[in-house]
Amino acid sequence: MVKIYTKTGDDGTTGLIGGMRVKKSNLRIGAYGSVDEINSSIGMVLSGTLDSDVRDILTKIQNDLFIVGSDLANPDMEITTNRVTAKMVEFLETQIDRLESELDPITYFILPGGSLVAAQLHISRTVCRRAEINVVMVSESETVNKECKAYLNRLSDLLFVLARAVNKRGKINDVAWKK
């Protein structure tokens, strides 16, 4: 039996793919930690009642986020396994386009909310934005697969569109910002 604890991180370090040890405060660790947080947030959304197409999209995203995390945990760009691809980004774009075709054009700023599931999707979106910022910060001093940044940018857009679609399908209005 493999134990969940190894005690190797008790000194404040953790291992990256390839064996290099870095401080747990390393920006790369924060970046893939925030990707893990998106995944957990989406898991919360999936615990609710969803249309099957939304459930399928979010389940695929959860699996793909493991690839994003793995990509970020591997600083050796010579290793090409478990890397985010343009095809993964295209999947998100296809879903955005499909879902947006159901929605009315946006004519006002939208506040997070509406249904509980839509509000949870907005939380996932904001966590995704933070993850994207963290990845950009890593990329300022280290090489990062550019598709990771594109994936997170597109994912936050898709989560916004999903929140709107969930509200519309539930016959709940988006919450308009009022100045």
Backbone angles phi, psi at 80, to 5 degrees: -105, 0
Rounded CA gap, 55 and 53, in Å? Answer: 5
Rounded CA gap, 140 and 83, in Å? Answer: 19
Q: What pLDDT score does 34 carry?
A: 97
Which residues pair with residue 176 across a beta bridge? 110
Domain with residue 39: its CATH number is 1.20.1200.10
Encoded tokens for 72 = 């970020």
Q: Is residue 41 part of a domain?
A: yes
**21-23 and 175-176: which strand pairing?**
unpaired
Residues 77, 145 contacting (CB under 8 angstroms): yes
Q: What pLDDT score does 3 carry?
A: 84
Q: Is residue 15 part of a domain?
A: no
Q: What pLDDT score does 5 carry?
A: 85
Average pLDDT, the chain: 94
Contacts (Cβ under 8 Å, ≥6 apart) of 173: 114, 167
Residue 46 has pLDDT above 80, yes or no: yes
Domain containing residue 88: 22-173
Which residue has better confidence, 44 or 4? 44
Q: What pLDDT score does 117 carry?
A: 97
Q: What pLDDT score does 2 carry?
A: 80
Q: Is residue 26 part of a domain?
A: yes
Give the number of domains in the chain.
Answer: 1
Q: What pLDDT score does 67 carry?
A: 98
